[in-house]
Structure 1
Amino acid sequence: MDVSRTPAVRLLVSAAALCCSLALVAGCSGSTSQGERGKQADRTASAVAPMSGADLQSDYQKVIKDVLPSVVQIQAGNDLGSGIVYDDQGHVVTNAHVVGDQKTFQVTTANSENTLTARSAYSYPAQDLAVIKLDKMPKGLKAATFANSSKVQVGQIVLAMGSPLGLSSSVTQGIVSATGRTVTENSGGGGTGATIANMIQTSAAINPGNSGGALVNLDGQVIGIPTLAAIDPNLGNSAAPGIGFAIPSSTVKTIAGQIVKSGKVTDSGRAALNITGRTVVDGRFQPAGVAVVAVKSGGAADKAGLRVGDIITRLGDTDITTITSLTEALAAEKPGDRTSVTYIRDGREKKAHVTLGEQ
């Protein structure tokens, strides 16, 4: 499946869903008076009653009231995106493809029409994340609460908040459609070309301008940053409705936390072979592997005995045909993991065991 950064596609709004409470009230041991039994019966009946549309609507409105003030609109040159207030020091986390090469930004909050100014703190395109810092932290602007995204479950109701098509403070609704997706972003049109693991797939509408905003659960916690929307090449690269992807909040906290503390990413958590490679084709002009064009001295590949000219065809049990497939295979690994690399040298297939390095 091809994907593009959100400023390149549009998705349809999914229908609202209702949920039911299945909690039961357990009785206590020992004798109970008739009056108390009647009260318990009333509480039990109330507990198993389905949540009404009004109750769900009230939950939505509470979440929006609590979280939307932490979501801002970012103007980066001629590009427009969204961001989330990360802390009370004025740091705002967003996508790297939103900030691009810009160093200064105009920021608009949900509660004010006044334009704030901000400067780049650090951009990390490999994970499509960046942090900017407001020159002045205005009153009333509060930091968002980030959830532990490892606890996100398929079927959870979520809200996407941001500035789609420049419509600031917009909210759409959907569910978590899947977790653990590995997705490669297009490198054209301002995208970073990043391969990002463990992404959250959602049916909440993600449109141009939503990038860098908030994907929020009904507890008012950010579970991810909307980043990509799927496109269907069979339909002329038009949008595939209801398929969007968000960088999980745990990854956001890890990367943004390092940037805020050190001004850069000191521990990416991304595995690497420490090579420069390019896709090669076979006699039928079909992708057939990754040729090693440079090896970092002392890096993972160097220690495993790989050298310039080798053609990598497999990492562990995964076939490698393109540089993208190699990047995606590495995205499922961690620095320090032990695996094997199958490669071709001088027309002969060889295998080496390698301890993966860090990107």
Structure 2
Amino acid sequence: MDVSRARRARSLRARALRTGVPFAAAVILGAALLSGCSGSSTPQEPAASGTASGTKDASGERQVAAPATAGDLQAEYQRVIRDVLPSVVQIQTGGELGSGVVYDDKGHIVTNAHVVGNTKRFRVTTAGGGQPFTATLVSSYPDQDLAVVKLDKVPPGLKAATFGDSEKVEVGQIVLAMGSPLGLASSVTQGIVSATGRTVSEGQGGGGTGATIANMVQTSAAINPGNSGGALVNLNGEVIGIPTLAAADPQLGGSAAPGIGFAIPASMVKTIAGQIVKYGKVVDSGRAALGITGRTVVDASYQPAGVAVVEVRAGGAADRAGIRPGDVITRVGDNDITTMTSLAETLASDKPGQKTKVTYARDGAEKTVEVTLGEQ
């Protein structure tokens, strides 16, 4: 799903990271390249790698400690990998592979909705390798591209990951991406948090759900097909996001842009997965909605020019504000609306119950109304 040039500064076309490597091919690769990782360590506070710190002596003079060495940083990486990788699994869905993160000790595993697709039964392999376990879909929520599956039998020692606080994620933090890129189980890559608060729309082609997701974490850590549903981890050993999308630029032929990947923030993962575990489905999405079905319309120059309202849900936000089928929405709040994608991106940053102004065209006349947003 393309976005206009005017919106590229805040939104990129992206594609889902579900692997396209057939299972049989992954097994062949695995015979030569795959290795499992097991073990754990007691969590410790990480050293301030690459920075100087210090304390004051008796005279009040500040004593500056030496910067952490490369060996210190390497030790931190290895500690985090030993601690977290056992909580990252490989999920086989038919002939394809994806990743997942152990959510609790009852066998619930969180992953992407585009990883599970329409499949209900799965084979799950833990980081330690061995025979895969069977699992069943609990529920999938494509609008946020998240899903939860549950192991039919919980293996001894199954370790749940620790999910971090999304509010504490900062640009420049070192992160590790863990998953099964191209079917290579228990792979780890390294990078930084490149940006936070990104709103990104994934295409529906290539296995994506077409979801528009707000507040995503952008990272330079290499993430590739098969990393979907895995873990983006900080040096405290906390999962701060679920790698989901890779940026793709139509000017580059739709290929992935190296070093630009996106992860669903941990706060949203906990919200959605927590509801699925507790209720078997999502009961409170927290996503704003106008309550319409629409389509992108073009102007005389065949350029996207707004969203035509095809259907209005009775009792929904648009219906209460007097918006009718045939109206063409051109602005919501401070954002120009040219496509369905731009409308979805604007609503993704809003909340149910929030009031906003909607501008639309009807019979050649422009109207603006205040709308109290509903819930998707």
Instruction: Provide TM-score, normalisation by structure 2.
Output: 0.88
Q: How many pairs align?
A: 339
Q: Are 1:230 and 2:247 counterparts?
A: yes
Q: Are 1:80 and 2:91 counterparts?
A: no
CA displacement 1:290-325 (0-9 Å, x = unmatched)? 111111111100111101111100001110011111
Matches within 5 A, 1:172-183: 172-183=189-200
CA displacement 1:120-160 (0-9 Å, x = unmatched)? 00000000000000001101210000001111000000000
Percentage of matched positions with identical amino acids: 70
1:336 aligned counterpart, secondary structure: coil
Among candidates 97, 110, 116, match of residue 114 of structure 2: 97
Q: Distance in 1 between matches of 2:201 and 2:20?
A: 15
Q: Distance in 2 between matches of 1:173 and 1:304?
A: 49
List gaps (5 residues or longer) in structure 1.
11-17, 31-39
- Matching residue of 2:212: 195
Among candidates 263, 275, 287, match of residue 246 of structure 1: 263
Retained in 1: the 8 A contact 2:53–2:66?
no
Q: What amino acid sits opposite 1:3 in the alignment? A: A
Q: What amino acid sits opposite 2:163 in the alignment? A: F
Among candidates 5, 29, 36, match of residue 16 of structure 2: 5
Matches within 5 A, 1:1-359: 1-7=12-18, 19-28=49-58, 44=63, 48-359=65-376
- Bigger CA radius of gyration: 1
Retained in 2: the 8 A contact 1:9–1:239?
no
Retained in 2: the 8 A contact 1:9–1:207?
no
Classify 1:343/1:9 alpha carbon distance in 2 versus 1 (closer, same or farther; 3 Å).
farther
- Alpha-carbon RMSD across the aligned residues, in angstroms, is 1.7
Q: What amino acid sits opposite 2:254 in the alignment? A: N
Retained in 2: the 8 A contact 1:282–1:288?
yes
Q: Distance in 2 between matches of 1:234 and 1:19?
A: 38
1:216 aligned counterpart, secondary structure: strand
Q: What amino acid sits opposite 1:5 in the alignment? A: A
Q: Distance in 2 between matches of 1:162 and 1:75?
A: 13
Q: Distance in 1 between matches of 2:114 and 2:167?
A: 25
2:77 aligned counterpart, secondary structure: helix
Classify 1:8/1:342 alpha carbon distance in 2 versus 1 (closer, same or farther; 3 Å).
farther
Q: Distance in 2 between matches of 1:141 and 1:205?
A: 27
Q: Distance in 2 between matches of 1:191 and 1:300?
A: 28
Which sits farther off after the overlay, 113-122 or 20-29? 20-29
Retained in 1: the 8 A contact 2:19–2:226?
no
Q: Distance in 2 between matches of 1:163 and 1:112?
A: 12
CA displacement 1:84-106 (0-9 Å, x = unmatched)? 00001100000000000000000
Retained in 1: the 8 A contact 2:19–2:96?
no
Q: Distance in 1 between matches of 2:216 and 2:233?
A: 14
Retained in 1: the 8 A contact 2:18–2:114?
no
